[in-house]
Amino acid sequence: MQIGILIFDGVEEMDFVGPLEVLASACEGRESRVLLIGPSLARVTCEKGMRVLPDVAMADIPALDVLLVPGGSGARMALADPEIVAWVQRVSAGCGWVTSVCTGSFLLVGAGVVAGRRVTTHHRFTDALEKLGEAEVLRGARFVVDGNLVSAAGVSSGIEMCLWLVENLFGAQAASEVADYIAYDIPPRGSEIVG
């Protein structure tokens, strides 16, 4: 199984680092891997200044089993990058699971991936996402499941979403082991919506 996390300049650090920890922990000992995918192999400068090198460039990944698109100001800026938008659209079409954290849902909307489906985003951006008019934006949900599309509201809900995803990919025992490993025992404050 190949899990890809798209990163780009202005990506919110915790939107991808939290999910990376969950997913990479679940992949240990399995024939699965998590890759950080950048527009190129050039260094990515994150929202708060952290600098990260992608594992692979978008052009070198023709297909994924799972795609995760994090948020940050860069996710909204990436809407103006036709290469990123086209790649997200193309790769999403073949994925078993397409996921976003926080404002990563804007990039999924911009790529035409969520038309007519239910999504969520960070509570400060629900109005802006709703104005795009492409999806039903659910407020107050920690994460939303609509078929193979899963969107999380923000940083900690991205971790919850990924634990849910681990359970669906590898089973309840795997999710429990990862939650124990990362010492994640905070009860959800909201709800998940399953479509």
CA torsion angle 80 98 28 159 (round to 10): 80
For tokens 């990260």, name the residue: 52
Active site residue 102: yes
Q: Using alpha carbons, select from 39, 34, 36 the residue that is nearest to residue 2.
A: 34
The alpha carbon of residue 86 and the mean position of all alpha carbons in its chain are separated, in whole angstroms, by 17
How far is C-alpha 35 from the chain's CA centre? Answer: 13
Catalytic residue among 27, 46, 95, 102: 102
Strand bridging mode 66-69 / 149-152: unpaired
List residues with catalytic annotation: 102
